[in-house]
Amino acid sequence: MKYWIKPTVTFLAFFIIFQSNSFAGTKILPLPKPLATKETKSKVEKKKQIYPQKKPILEKKLWTYSPQTDRIIQISGHMLRQSVNGSDMSYKDMMETRSISEIYNLTLEESIFIDNRDHWVIYMEAKVKGLSYPKRRAWIDKEYFLPIKEELYAKSGKLLKTTSMSNIKKTQGRWFPFHYKFKDELKRNSRGTEWIINEIEFDNEISESRFSKALLRK
C-alpha cells in the first residue's frame, strides 16, 4: 500500500540541552581586567576556530499525538521500532543524528554510471554497536553529492530497506530531492512510502515555542 505523507509536522522531537557552568572563587579580590584590544580579539577568534568548543550533550525525546485517545505519547524503547503512521519508516529511522563517518567505516567500491550520471558506490560497515542497519551501500551522485539510492542491511547481510531520491532541483544554492521513497523490503506487497515536496525553505529561524507538546494537538 502506498502512503503519502505531507511535509507537515506529525511528530515532535525535543532536544533538551544540559549545560554545566563552574565558578571559581578566591579570597583575594582580583585586579580589574584590561580592555581587550583588536589584536587580542582577533587571536581569540582564531583560537576558537582551531579549537572549537564541544557541542552540548543532547537528550533526544520524541513525542506524538494520538487523535483516537486525545493523548500525547512519548515514543521510546521498543516503540521506536514501530511504523510511523503505518508507513515503511520506523521512528528509530528518524532519530539518528550522528554523521556517517562517525558510526561507519567507509569503503569506495567502484564508480559507475546510472542514467548517464556518474556515481560513487560506497559500502558502509558499522564501527559502533546498536545501529539498526550494521551494513549499508549507497550510490552517491558526484555532482549532487546526494545518495540517489541506498540499501540498508542486517548484520547477516539480509536486505532490510531501500531508499531512493529523484526530481532533484537546486534550491537556495543546494541540490535537494523533491521526491523521496523509503521501502521496507520485508513487507510483502508494499510499494513503499513516498514524500513529495512542493516547496521548501532553508535556514529559516524557528521559534522555540514551536517545539512544544501543546502544538501537537493543533
Of 78-82, 140-144, 172-176, the one with minimum mean pLDDT is 78-82
Q: β-pairing, 193-196 with 3-4?
A: parallel
- Residue 102's pLDDT is 93
**Closest-CA residue to 81 (of 160, 158, 189):** 160
For residue 55, pLDDT beyond 60: no
d(CA 186, CA 143): 32
For residue 23, pLDDT beyond 60: no
For residue 2, pLDDT beyond 50: no
3-19+40-217 has CATH 2.50.20.10 classification: yes
**Whether the Cβ atoms of residue 149 and residue 159 lie closer than 8 Å to each other:** no
- Residue 198's pLDDT is 95
For residue 71, pLDDT beyond 80: yes
**pLDDT (tens digit, 9 = 90+) per residue, 79-130?**
777 778 778 888 788 777 889 999 999 999 999 999 999 999 999 999 999 8
For residue 3, pLDDT beyond 70: no
Domain residue limits, the chain: 3-19+40-217
Half-sphere exposure of 206 (CA within 13 A, CB side): 6
d(CA 17, CA 218): 25
For residue 180, pLDDT beyond 60: yes
- Residue 208's pLDDT is 82
pTM greater than the 0.75 cutoff: no
- Residue 74's pLDDT is 85
**Whether the Cβ atoms of residue 28 and residue 181 lie closer than 8 Å to each other:** no
- Residue 10's pLDDT is 36
**Residue 94, helix vs strand vs coil:** helix
**Closest-CA residue to 182 (of 115, 94, 54):** 94
Q: What is the DSSP string of 4-40?
A: E--SS-SSEEEEEE---------SSPPPPPPPPPHHH
Residue scoring higher pLDDT (44 or 87): 87
- Residue 48's pLDDT is 54
- C-alpha distances in angstroms, 134 versus 62, 69, 81, 127? 23, 36, 15, 8
